[in-house]
Amino acid sequence: MSISDARPLKIVVVGDSKVGKTTLIHNYLEQTQGRLSIQKQQLDYQIIQVQIQQNEYCVAIWDAVGLELQNQMNRFLVKDAHVVMLCIDLSKQILIQSIYTMMDTLISYCQEQCQFVLVGTKQDLNSQNTQILNQFFLELQQKYQNLKLLLTVSIYNEDSIKQAFQKTFELGASLDKSSITILQSFILQRNENNSVLKKYSNRESKAQKHDNCC
């Protein structure tokens, strides 16, 4: 089946800086697609074809790398996502209020049907935090009905990463969303994101110049 015949599925991976988002994506892609070229490693999204429940899907995996959830770039990035993977660093203290804040922000940006997956990264570095997150997850689900899964991963357990993405894809495939022209959708989203990012960078540059001269 050609890519134009496959069903579209958009996954966005978000989280604080250095939580391991990019490593998570690259590890999964290298397991399933082979070694990534330097050019592909520099892209903020990857498009792959996968089979889910006997149906072919064209999956766009977006990496919200180095960007805070509240900025305009990420608002455009997640607005039409099928599933958002919110990554939490298990090697650091778990800040419950921070997770609430991130979830509230994401829900305000996303479509009503968007589903959410909480992903605990660096599981091998702090088993106690894994237990804390497991206990807290039930409380989170009571408030956020679209928060469906809690998954923990480690780069030393490649199968945990592969399973995390597989379960996320299956969650996205379970949604009954109207189909759109895949390539046009991804290209338009990419152009829109680049335009917003350019404006955001220009504002940052002007702000820095102002700080330096005043």
Task: Residue 42: give the domain boundaries.
Answer: 3-177
Q: Is residue 147 part of a domain?
A: yes
Evaluate whether residue 99 is within a structural domain. Answer: yes
Q: Within a domain: residue 32?
A: yes
64 CB-near residues (< 8 Å, 6+ apart): 12, 13, 14, 15, 21, 44, 73, 74, 77, 78
Asked, for residue 140, whether it belongs to a domain, the answer is yes
Question: In this structure, is residue 188 part of a structural domain?
Answer: no
Return phi, psi of residue 167, to 5°.
Answer: -65, -35
Contact 123, 90 (CB under 8 A): yes
Domain of 99: which CATH number? 3.40.50.300
> Parallel, antiparallel, or unpaired for β 7-15 and 55-63?
parallel
Residue 204 counted as domain residue: no
Check residue 89 and give its pLDDT. Answer: 93
Looking at the structure of the chain, the number of domains it has is 1
pLDDT at 45: 84
Q: CA–CA separation, 214 vs 203, rounded Å?
A: 17
Residue 43 neighbours by CB under 8 Å, 6+ apart: none
Q: Within a domain: residue 196? A: no
Asked if the structure places residue 209 within a domain, the reply is no
- pLDDT, averaged per 10 consecutive residues of the chain (214 residues), comes to 76 91 92 75 82 91 73 79 95 90 92 95 85 91 96 94 96 69 45 52 47 42
